[in-house]
Chain A
Amino acid sequence: MILEFPWLTAILLFPLVAALPIPFLPGKDAKPVRLYTLCAGLLEFALIIYTFWKHYDLSASGFQLVENYAWIPQIGLHWSLAVDGLSMPLVILSGLVTTLAIFASWKIDNKPRLFYALMLAMYSAQIGVFLAQDMLLFFFMWELELVPVYLLIATWGGQRKLYAATKFILYTAIGSIFILLAALAMAFYGGNVTFDMAQLGLKDYSLPFEIALYSALLIAFGVKLPIFPLHTWLPDAHSEAPAPVSMILAGVLLKMAGYALIRFNLEMLPHAHILFAPMLAILGVVNIVYASLTAFAQTNLKRRLAYSSIAHMGFVLIGIASFTELGLSGAMLQMISHGLIASALFFLSGVAYDRTHTLMMDKMGGMAKPMPTLFALFTAGSMASLALPGMSGFIGEIAVFLGFTTSDAYSTTFKAVVVLLSAIGVILSPIYLLSIDSFTRLVLETERCQSPRSIHCIVFIDSYHWYRSISQTGHANLR
């Protein structure tokens, strides 16, 4: 039944297959492995682009490039892959971010073979999550990503790496129990046993059953997204992970949950979604406000970025809860743009850490003088992150807001409160992202010590505007 080349299978398996010869590569140091992995990553990305360029019809809706082979028919597990408008951009995003993360891990000299093999394994798993159209296969891919991430954090992470990695794996493993439970419950519901997601969506679940399924999946994906009370693993994992892994964690892994929420909760359980949507909106607001406020208190640069990720995922939740096409598109856009922005910011924080050997913001700083490029990039990244008009963060957030306000599923008061509160979060984000205080102080220190190279300080964030005004203050103070 193979009518044409199985492009999606090729995309999915290529990194995994490429990871296999890594132990046998010649050479003592990291260089050959690094080059090999980079080539594999680039090839994979090129393959993704080529496949979607040539074989994906942008104007058509519904699933394309469908592949369906029985893998283990005894339990109804099918190797069933397809892409649609929901998953296609996310596949490209994970290809891009992971390939860039391989670039960003140029400095990894400790156990390079293991590192790059795990990166490639993770590459496959992420793409598998977005492509799988069989719920058991989805679970398989979801779990496949677990151990590589654990090892990547635990081996190459910061000082509290073991704590962070263990917390990550416990949270995620317990969360994923619920995926399997929901999958089994859905598959055995009604007459026919199937894990095919299209058929599961067509089944007519009774409302209490649907609510139970919805809650189970909400917990599973809520851990990963993360949603407010289940988020505590994320700041630890993101801040302790090495920069390239943080890039993937923030850039791709969070989107797996957002994608799954749309794919399962919204598409397959629409009746329960109507009941749960107000809760999602409220949780989204809580995410935004709570994470923005908490971000203030963080002195660790990566922790602050991690909390900003949580806040940004709040917009995705509101978008999912909006019942409008615009809101949903906003949620998608927000995921893509956050994927790019967050990975850029984490990458830059990794660069900064490389040079300053600290992530504490009161110790770094000194800003643009020693590293103007980094500073400029950081500025651009945080501008995008705080949703400056014209940058990608803006369009996502505005679409979510517009979608939510035009939604006719909620009362005006409710909409007003949600939008108002999340608007507060939007206002908070520039403040914590620009964090003027430490910035000014550090400018002064740099100027005083006269030797920027020895200190190697950088300032991590700011707009040109802030930079000018503050450096003026700094000069004023010096005088």
Chain B
Amino acid sequence: MDFANLAAQLNAGTILPEGIVIITLLTVLLGDLIAGRAASRWTPYFAIGGLLSAIVALYFQWNNPTPNGFLGGFNADDLSIVFRGIVALSASVTLLLSVRYVEQSGTPLGEFIVILLTATLGGMFLSGADELVMVFVSLETLSIASYLLTGYMKRDPRSNEAALKYLLIGAASSAIFLYGVSLLYGLSGGETRLSQITTNLLANNANESIGVVIALVFVIAGIAFKIAAVPFHQWTPDVYEGSPTPVVAFLSVGSKAAGFALAIRLLVNAFPMVSEQWHFVMTALALLSMVLGNVVALAQGSMKRMLAYSSIGQAGFVMIGLIIGTDAGYASMVFYLMVYLFMNLGGFACVILFTLRTGTDEITEYSGLYQKDPLLTLCLSICLLSLGGIPPLAGFFGKIYLFWAGWQAGAYWLVLIGLLTSVVSIYYYIRVVKMMVVKEPEEMSEAVKNYPAISWTAFGMRPLQVGLIVCLVATSLAGILSNPLFNLANNSVTGTPLLQSSVIQPARPVMLQSSKTLDEASVLEAHL
């Protein structure tokens, strides 16, 4: 094998964005090592710059004619680019939000950035991983970095508790996932590449084996843990409540997006022969997540716990797109995750800001905030209402697209449950808005009465302000001007060969009218 051939096989250019993140990571690490605490003046901005240039690099990889790298271990197709972009973007916004938070808690900033970048790296690799070993390694990179991040507030017992819980449950689910993967490896006669597994299973006559179903169940358990789908969600509220809030912001967006990328790639690619089964399981998970997440969120007193349950419910909505498995379904997933990034991070930005100023995150403590801090009230209201799907905010368009795609594919019950639970979600989101806006000055909470004067001058406040404004503007305008985002989501799906081959799958139980809807979709495209 000559060198040129090897280089072509490696096709290392596919991981250029990840390379940029690694270099950023190392620079931050070294800078922190050499300059000590003084380095924290520039490391966060450098890291954000690195992540943004990774996104730019991703942009130039769009429609890459040779997306396979590392002998098929990594697939840089359009779908992976979108998901890697979402992970990197969520990490950069999280960095904006975390500078002040970490500074105020008195823990070193450099290490935090390094661990967060490691998690980002894991998430980005996971979005493009096309081989079982690669999947597992990147999944663990993401997970272990996440455990470290949740326990980052060393002096806070709740943070330690969260980290331990997350670690124990996470390690167990990783083990289960690994067991499922190993079954798949064995059944396919030692094949690790996702795209080859099906062929090998067929060749080994193992496609009817009960082993494939067991492997599927174990793999789904691992994925469902990552995206926090009911009933694999029990860790979410406790971990969200105890962890540092910027970490929660990243877990709820970046980590979840990577989990969805894994779900699409693994389920669609490696399990087409048990597609009926996995659709059935995922439908059950989606229904449970939507119902339980949104209903339990009603009863929460802590803002972070409420957002934890709301994120479970939101994951349920996104799973609709995965289940229906049409072009529009995948595109609506991508689109929803893109707007979810801004609205959820915006919500967390407000929670962080409020916690920094008052030291609490109880919902009742938000009473009367409008009088003291109109900007924060506006931003939190917009983000929460957007999560609830109120027009003209971005979340409305995200939900409409999901439900539109669901209806197109004939998944009427999923759409109906989705609509009903989003009304429930409006109720608990608007409860917070009501707390902030409606309460009269005499009903103000203690925290708001003692609200400090608004100042953005302290170290790390400016980035937080920038993050807040970016999320606010994006959430307000991404819906009205959503055409480019729609195009991006659609192109990422139509430009991905993997999904294109899966869309023409035989009829599935939830897709009662699959052939008809495909006709309709083509008619629609013809019209456009």
Interchain CA distance A154-B374 in the complex, whole Å: 18
| Complex interface: chain B residues within 8 A of A181 (CB) | 415-416, 419
Interface residues of A in 132-164 (CB under 8 A from B): 136, 140-141, 143-144, 146-147, 150-151, 154-155, 161-162
| Among B374, B423, B434, contact of A177 (Cβ-Cβ < 8 Å) | B423
| Complex interface: chain B residues within 8 A of A144 (CB) | 390-392
Q: Is B133 on the interface with A (CB-CB < 8 A)? A: no
Q: Is A170 on the interface with B (CB-CB < 8 A)? A: yes
Interchain CA distance A141-B392 in the complex, whole Å: 9
Check A75 against B437 for contact (C-beta < 8 Å).
Answer: no
| Complex interface: chain A residues within 8 A of B433 (CB) | 151
Q: Is A174 on the interface with B (CB-CB < 8 A)? A: yes
Closest to B331 in A: A74
Closest to B440 in A: A110
| Complex interface: chain B residues within 8 A of A75 (CB) | 400-401, 404, 486
Interface residues of A in 28-43 (CB under 8 A from B): none
Check B438 against A162 for contact (C-beta < 8 Å).
Answer: yes
With most chain A CB atoms within 10 A of its CB, the pick from B390, B396, B430, B490 is B430
Check B407 against A188 for contact (C-beta < 8 Å).
Answer: yes
Interchain CA distance A278-B154 in the complex, whole Å: 71
Q: Is B487 on the interface with A (CB-CB < 8 A)? A: yes
Check B392 against A184 for contact (C-beta < 8 Å).
Answer: no
Interchain CA distance A75-B517 in the complex, whole Å: 14
Chain B, residues 470-510, CB within 8 Å of chain A (1/0): the string is: 00000000000011001100100000000000000000000
- B289 to A: closest C-beta gap in Å: 19
Closest to A178 in B: B419
Q: Is A192 on the interface with B (CB-CB < 8 A)? A: yes
| Among A74, A136, A173, A191, contact of B520 (Cβ-Cβ < 8 Å) | A191
Number of A-B contacts (CB under 8 A): 97
| Complex interface: chain A residues within 8 A of B420 (CB) | 174, 177
Check A147 against B385 for contact (C-beta < 8 Å).
Answer: yes
| Among A74, A114, A155, A185, contact of B490 (Cβ-Cβ < 8 Å) | A74
Closest to A142 in B: B391
| Complex interface: chain A residues within 8 A of B517 (CB) | 188
| Complex interface: chain B residues within 8 A of A141 (CB) | 391
Interface residues of A in 443-459 (CB under 8 A from B): none
Interface residues of A in 70-103 (CB under 8 A from B): 71-77
Check B520 against A177 for contact (C-beta < 8 Å).
Answer: no
Q: Is A402 on the interface with B (CB-CB < 8 A)? A: no
Interchain CA distance A192-B528 in the complex, whole Å: 11
Q: Is B264 on the interface with A (CB-CB < 8 A)? A: no
With most chain A CB atoms within 10 A of its CB, the pick from B434, B490, B519, B521 is B434
Q: A143-B391, A177-B423, A184-B403 are in contact. Are A74 and B438 (CB under 8 A)?
A: no
| Complex interface: chain A residues within 8 A of B440 (CB) | 110
Check B438 against A188 for contact (C-beta < 8 Å).
Answer: no
Q: Is A180 on the interface with B (CB-CB < 8 A)? A: yes
| Complex interface: chain A residues within 8 A of B403 (CB) | 180, 184
Q: Is A111 on the interface with B (CB-CB < 8 A)? A: yes
| Among A23, A140, A193, contact of B524 (Cβ-Cβ < 8 Å) | A193
Q: Is B250 on the interface with A (CB-CB < 8 A)? A: no
Check B437 against A143 for contact (C-beta < 8 Å).
Answer: no
| Complex interface: chain A residues within 8 A of B397 (CB) | 72
Check B426 against A76 for contact (C-beta < 8 Å).
Answer: no
Q: Is B408 on the interface with A (CB-CB < 8 A)? A: yes
Q: Is A169 on the interface with B (CB-CB < 8 A)? A: yes
Q: Is B45 on the interface with A (CB-CB < 8 A)? A: no
| Complex interface: chain B residues within 8 A of A77 (CB) | 400
| Among B378, B427, B487, contact of A170 (Cβ-Cβ < 8 Å) | B427
With most chain B CB atoms within 10 A of its CB, the pick from A114, A140, A173 is A173
Check A162 against B407 for contact (C-beta < 8 Å).
Answer: no
- A464 to B: closest C-beta gap in Å: 42
Q: Is B101 on the interface with A (CB-CB < 8 A)? A: no
Q: A72-B486, A177-B419, A180-B419 are in contact. Are A151 and B438 (CB under 8 A)?
A: yes
| Complex interface: chain A residues within 8 A of B370 (CB) | 111, 114
Check B438 against A140 for contact (C-beta < 8 Å).
Answer: no
Q: A73-B528, A147-B385 are in contact. Are A184 and B407 (CB under 8 A)?
A: yes
Chain B, residues 431-473, CB within 8 Å of chain A (1/0): the string is: 0011001101000000000000000000000000000000000
Check A174 against B423 for contact (C-beta < 8 Å).
Answer: yes
With most chain B CB atoms within 10 A of its CB, the pick from A75, A110, A141, A155 is A75
What residues make up the interface of A, taking CB atoms closer than 8 Å to B? 23, 71-77, 110-111, 114, 136, 140-141, 143-144, 146-147, 150-151, 154-155, 161-162, 165-166, 169-170, 173-174, 177, 180-181, 184-185, 188, 191-194
The contact sample of 11 A-B pairs, CB cut-off 8 A, is: A72-B482, A72-B486, A73-B528, A140-B391, A143-B396, A147-B430, A154-B437, A188-B407, A188-B517, A191-B520, A193-B523
Q: Which 10 A-B pairs have the closest CB atoms?
A: A184-B407, A74-B486, A193-B524, A177-B419, A173-B423, A154-B438, A155-B438, A140-B391, A144-B391, A75-B404
